[in-house]
Amino acid sequence: MKRLFAVVVCAIAMLLLYGCAAAEQPPQEQTAAYDFSVEDGQGNSVKLSDFKGKPVVVNFWASWCPPCKAELPHFQACFEAYPQVQFMMVNLLTSDTREDAQAVLDQGGYTFPVFYDTTAEAAMIYDISAIPVTVFVNAKGEVVRKNVGMLTAQALEAGITEILP
């Protein structure tokens, strides 16, 4: 029993130390953002590279995802507060429908630009295996941060601050 207790204590200590060490690591080196094509609401093809020279926030979401829907008000507030930032709210149509997505947008009164990943190209390029995911791209076209999971309003604003010129 004492041995089991010692193992558990060691395991907890290692987790705490790992967590502290991970928090103190320097930010990842910025890498060039991979380009992808999605469709706008009218079916026109839009590429991430179309917005080069402007900071971009790319958010991957779906209408059936509760954390995705919970963070949408934060994106709307930031869309209104930061007109110099391009928002690409990318709906994953491979697991959603335009109708369901539009219902969520209408219900929330959201006006940010929504794009549709009809072929899963963007999701595959950014290795999206769970949602929501938010990618922050600076005006030079470099990924500054990639967040997996729901963002708080403060975390979203912090990411935007990092990509502003």
The Cα 88–Cα 106 span in angstroms is 17
> Sign (positive/negative) of CA torsion 44, 47, 51, 52?
negative
Q: What is the pLDDT of residue 5?
A: 36
Across 122-145, average pLDDT: 96
The Cα 123–Cα 78 span in angstroms is 23
> Sign (positive/negative) of CA torsion 134, 137, 143, 145?
negative
What percentage of the chain exceeds 70 in pLDDT? Answer: 82
Q: What is the pLDDT of residue 142?
A: 96
Q: What is the mean pLDDT of the chain?
A: 85
Q: What is the pLDDT of residue 24?
A: 26
- Tell me the pLDDT tens digit for each residue of 16-75: 222 222 222 234 567 899 999 999 999 999 999 999 999 999 999 999 999 999 999 999
Q: What is the pLDDT of residue 29?
A: 67
pLDDT for 3 beyond 70: no
Radius of gyration of the chain (CA): 18
- Residues, the chain, total? 165
Domains and CATH numbers, the chain: 30-163 (3.40.30.10)
pLDDT for 92 beyond 60: yes
pLDDT for 4 beyond 50: no
Across 86-99, average pLDDT: 93
Q: What is the pLDDT of residue 7?
A: 33
Q: What is the pLDDT of residue 30?
A: 72
